[in-house]
Structure 1
């Protein structure tokens, strides 16, 4: 890491792909983390770490995509495949609200028979029963699949879902936004252009979104860098990303197998994310895949947010990664780092300090 590059980053200037690749491949962890932390404090001067009280409701595990990195999906007709009925979903949301939760994240597989009417009916009822809950649901791959099943364009599908009560869009299914890698690990899922098209349309309709990256499977450093710059460029075009969440591939019980990225690799990618994504306000630490202690360390490598408490999470858990954290534990974790904890909304409005 040259003095000129350190100075450039410290002065808030944008770095380019070649510089980012050099940082990822050659920079020492601690100096890189310090640069990212400085940017975090420049963007968020108060010593506050935010989190949202939420629940992941996986409405089905039946999926035609059959991604090799996923331990959660089941093929249509599988004995242990499921599709939750409405009352089961409502019961889960009621439990979330009873615990002070404000965000619902509904995601599932690419079910062959679910059309848009299923989601419209469900989302309208959710909005009527639970008006205080932000419906932050469905990945770009799901929306593209729903549109295809229903004979709609992506734009038509998102417009109808928004009208029915979909408030914002999570960035799941991004994995690595490089099609050569996507062809290797998830060949039946939409390509990077399809993912971007959904996010562009959501932003055009005024819907907040987030972006993610799953790394540590088959990609190389150059692919991680390309992913980050594609996210930055989408945001420059008028994107609505409120946060970026990098997380590590979990190989347990998957067809792809292999091993996960190390803690050092995770922290380097997290720090680089904060440096590259100068137009995205928030970087989330992934305690779901890294555990509480690594998430605490991540707060000094560029992260300012710990994401959701996740009253329920099944997809990562299916790969054998079962870190859990209550709201009280999350607050204690943040305070243990010498920082102030704040419960937020999906849109990063502070609801209360702890």
Structure 2
């Protein structure tokens, strides 16, 4: 089927038998293997974990503010407090958003936003408790590691104590944002003010020890190298070996509109598929790889299901602006459950509605 060198054929055989790739093997394979072979092997790896199932959930996002103490070069979302495009919702406005979804069947409330200089840990504890009070049947997945570190440090508490208080208030899971790229030389160029890679990993390690499952991400397609991508995945794989607390990994493509790195453009869909396959083949201990359709677009997200992804994220209900503000094609991201299931079936898979923890939702 493929005309392969002996070294690539040997690595393909190792992967297909479930062997673990080293960093150097991953670089060789990703650099030299045909795209179709990557897709085939990533599909086999996906099906060993979840068969023909592709997961999705009914969710909505709350983005309390786009005011942020950090000013990352890749970010199209952040605004200064005095900008006419800034928003800073009150607690009442946030709860009104929750109320508007109470009859939607949503099983997850996803809360992320800018790192606001005013709000502290007690504010967010009260917010989570109030959200859970309005929608007790929905899980609250809230705050990136960068947001969490900032609010807990501001409160003068140890990380573990701050996370414990948030968990007691109803924070049941943590999303994967803020990881960007762990390689320090690149991180210092694209987000020099943001917390370090070690800080991000420490938040997730501590959350896992407290029984709080989390996701993980990478921001790819900007100035990073293949070595940087593999280093990033390797640090995640090692943490997962240690804790087992990651539910899913989400490759996030850099979108270039309306930010200070706009001139570098965006990588191709071929590169998106290579990144998705790399994630599935290298992260052998993370159960799920997500094709985040508000970032990819619906058609590309469907294609990613042929490169190892087994999760399409959720229905969203036009409740996130992070990628639309950066020029993603889904300017008002929203799908019905019927549309989501049709997308998955047309890609040759069986849709499974899940909750935050990948338990199937009974219809």
TM over 0.5: yes
**CA distance in structure 2 between the aligned counterparts of 1:181 and 1:351, rounded to whole angstroms:** 41
For the residue of structure 2 that corresponds to 1:188, the secondary structure is coil
**CA distance in structure 2 between the aligned counterparts of 1:239 and 1:93, rounded to whole angstroms:** 31
**Is the Cα contact below 8 Å between 1:64 and 1:76 reproduced in 2?**
no
* Deviation (angstroms), 1:322: 4.1
1:325–1:76 CA distance, 2 compared to 1 (3 A): closer
**CA distance in structure 1 between the aligned counterparts of 2:48 and 2:171, rounded to whole angstroms:** 33
**CA distance in structure 2 between the aligned counterparts of 1:270 and 1:31, rounded to whole angstroms:** 13
Residue in structure 2 matched with residue 314 of structure 1 by the alignment: 321
Residue in structure 2 matched with residue 165 of structure 1 by the alignment: 170
**Is the Cα contact below 8 Å between 2:297 and 2:328 reproduced in 1?**
no
Query: How high is the TM-score relative to the length of structure 2?
Result: 0.94
**CA distance in structure 2 between the aligned counterparts of 1:347 and 1:128, rounded to whole angstroms:** 20
* Deviation (angstroms), 1:160: 1.2
**Is the Cα contact below 8 Å between 2:95 and 2:131 reproduced in 1?**
yes
Residue in structure 1 matched with residue 128 of structure 2 by the alignment: 123
Per-residue CA deviations over 1:228-254 (Å, capped at 9, x if unaligned) read 111100101114100111020001001
**Is the Cα contact below 8 Å between 1:289 and 1:321 reproduced in 2?**
yes
**Is the Cα contact below 8 Å between 2:77 and 2:322 reproduced in 1?**
yes
Query: How high is the TM-score relative to the length of structure 1?
Result: 0.96
For the residue of structure 2 that corresponds to 1:14, the secondary structure is coil
Q: After the TM superposition, which residues 1-354 of structure 1 pair with which residues of structure 2 at under 5 Å, given as runs?
A: 2-45=8-51, 47-257=52-262, 258-311=264-317, 312-323=319-330, 324-327=333-336, 328-352=338-362
- Of residues 272-281 and 288-297 in structure 1, the stretch that sits farther from structure 2 once superposed is 288-297
**CA distance in structure 2 between the aligned counterparts of 1:276 and 1:270, rounded to whole angstroms:** 10
- Of residues 322-331 and 211-220 in structure 1, the stretch that sits farther from structure 2 once superposed is 322-331
- Of residues 152-161 and 162-171 in structure 1, the stretch that sits farther from structure 2 once superposed is 152-161
1:199–1:239 CA distance, 2 compared to 1 (3 A): farther
Per-residue CA deviations over 1:272-328 (Å, capped at 9, x if unaligned) read 111111111111112112211111111111011101221211111111214134122
* Deviation (angstroms), 1:352: 4.0
**CA distance in structure 2 between the aligned counterparts of 1:335 and 1:80, rounded to whole angstroms:** 39
For the residue of structure 1 that corresponds to 2:358, the secondary structure is coil
**Is the Cα contact below 8 Å between 2:11 and 2:29 reproduced in 1?**
no
**CA distance in structure 2 between the aligned counterparts of 1:239 and 1:64, rounded to whole angstroms:** 32
Runs of 4 or more consecutive aligned structure 1 residues displaced over 6 Å after TM superposition: none
**Is the Cα contact below 8 Å between 1:342 and 1:352 reproduced in 2?**
no
For the residue of structure 2 that corresponds to 1:148, the secondary structure is helix
* Deviation (angstroms), 1:108: 1.1
